[in-house]
Amino acid sequence: MKNTIDFEVIIIGGSYAGLSAAMALGRSLRNVLIIDSGLPCNRQTPKSHNFITNDGVKPDEIAAIAKSEVLKYETVKLLKDVAISGKKVENRFNIRTKLGKEFSAQKLIFATGVTDIMPGIKGFSECWGISVVHCPYCHGYEIRNKKTGIIANGDKAIHLASLVNNLTKDLTILTLGKAEFNEEQLLKLKKYNITIIEKDILEIVHVNGKIKNVILQDNSIENFSALYASIPFKQHLDIPELLGCELTEPGYIAVDVFSKTTVEGVFACGDNTIKMRSVANAVAQGNIAGAMVNMELTNEQF
């Protein structure tokens, strides 16, 4: 590839997982490029929780500290750009960016997160990550003992309800249509006084992302303080698939316990590989991915 800059490893995605992988590689003197758009998945989230030593810290503050620490390692470089295409040529991977730059590496790490697909509910996207949340472990303690709704149906709603029920006793499931629960599930919801609303939501009324109330399709109003939502997602980039990486049935990049994808030389870590989305998990997975990539390079070179 003409005018291509070579690295040992290219990490696509420079948030928590990508930076963690880069630190492991930088400490082993690997020549690393991080390509990052600067738009993390949790950019609307006011505080990060359930991450020991950083509980309650703003996500962008954690990322800023992480970047400053990682970039102290001279062999690690960070480029603010977007990877738009990739292909394998012999034993290397070639990546092209939105700004027209071209890079090559022996190994790739995808730490790209996912793109949440927002429902067509007015106010939903503005509240996402603030008062409409996905994870009881990340946000549940802060909204405990408040009137809470769950936007989900069927098994997903039951799973969330089982977790949230320990955090509040004022819980309602909004199925956005006909409820899809079996008899056993209905009995369980009745046992714990969890009500079901089968109406669509017209609007989530909010102030700066904080819910004031919810307007239903018949114009009735529910005064929820917080909502959990189980919404679909898609991979942020299609490059892994184009390279041949398999996806799991839910749509995550398939990896083994060492963060290896189904394509030799390609690794993935963070939210793009697992349902449990948290800063702590992303950092842990990134550390494993970085160490495993270094091991592969070592085995190939030593």
What pLDDT does residue 260 have? Answer: 98
Query: What pLDDT is stored for residue 1 in this prediction?
Result: 39
Pick the last residue of a domain from 213, 229, 245. 229
Query: Does residue 288 have a pLDDT over 70?
Result: yes
The pLDDT > 70 percentage for the chain reads 99
pLDDT of 286 > 80? The answer is yes
Q: Does residue 101 sit in the same domain as residue 38? A: yes
Q: Is the pLDDT of residue 71 over 50?
A: yes
Angle between helices 59-70 and 16-26 (to 10 degrees): 20
Domain boundary residue, one of 198, 229, 260: 229
pLDDT at position 248, please? Answer: 97
pLDDT tops 60 at residue 188: yes
pTM over 0.75: yes
Domain carrying residue 176: 124-229
Same-domain pairing of 10 and 78: yes
285 & 140 share domain: no
Digit-coded pLDDT (tens) for 149-170: 999 999 999 999 999 999 999 9
How sure is the predictor about 277, in pLDDT bands with cuts at 50, 70 and 90? confident
Q: What pLDDT, on a 0 to 100 scale, did the predictor assign at position 48?
A: 85
Per-residue model confidence as pLDDT tens digits over 21-37: 999 999 999 999 999 99
Q: Across the chain, how many H-helices and E-strands are there? A: 8, 17
Crossing angle for the helix pair 183-191 and 154-164, to the nearest 10 degrees: 20
218 and 287 assigned to the same domain: no
pLDDT tens digits, one per residue of 8-24: 999 999 999 999 999 99
- On whether both 297 and 165 belong to a single domain, the answer is no
Residue 173 CB contacts under 8 Å (≥ 6 apart), including other chains: 149, 150, 152, 153, 157, 161, 179, 189, 194, 195, 196, 197
Mean pLDDT rounded to a whole number for the chain = 94
**Rounded distance, CA 66 to CA 19, Å?**
7
Whether residue 110 is found in the same domain as residue 133: no
Confidence band (pLDDT; 50, 70, 90) for 2? low
What angle separates helix 16-26 from helix 279-301, to the nearest 10 degrees?
Answer: 30
| CATH code (residue 294) | 3.50.50.60
State the SS3 of 170-191.
CEEEECCCCCCCCHHHHHHHHH
pLDDT at residue 275, rounded to an integer: 87
pLDDT digits over 108-150, tens only? Answer: 999 999 999 999 999 999 999 999 998 899 889 999 999 999 9
Q: What's the Rg (C-alpha) of the chain?
A: 21
* Cα–Cα distance for residue pair 224/204, rounded to 1 Å: 10
Same domain, 111 and 147: no
Task: Based on the fold, state whether residues 96 and 141 are members of the same structural domain.
Answer: no
Boundary-marking domain end, from 229, 263, 287: 229
Q: How far is CA 76 from the centre of its chain?
A: 23
Tokens of 41: 């998945």
Question: What tokens does 134 get?
Answer: 């996905």
Q: 237 with 107, same domain? A: yes
97 and 32 co-located in one domain:
yes
Burial profile 279-301: b = 16 or more Cβ within 10 angstroms, e = fewer: bbbbbbbbbbbbbbbbebbeeee
Nearest to 17 by CA among 276, 250, 230: 276
Same domain, 130 and 150: yes
> Does residue 238 share a domain with residue 91?
yes
> What's the total number of domains in the chain?
2
Q: Where are the alpha helices (DSSP H) in the chain?
A: 16-26, 59-70, 124-127, 136-139, 154-164, 183-191, 239-243, 279-301
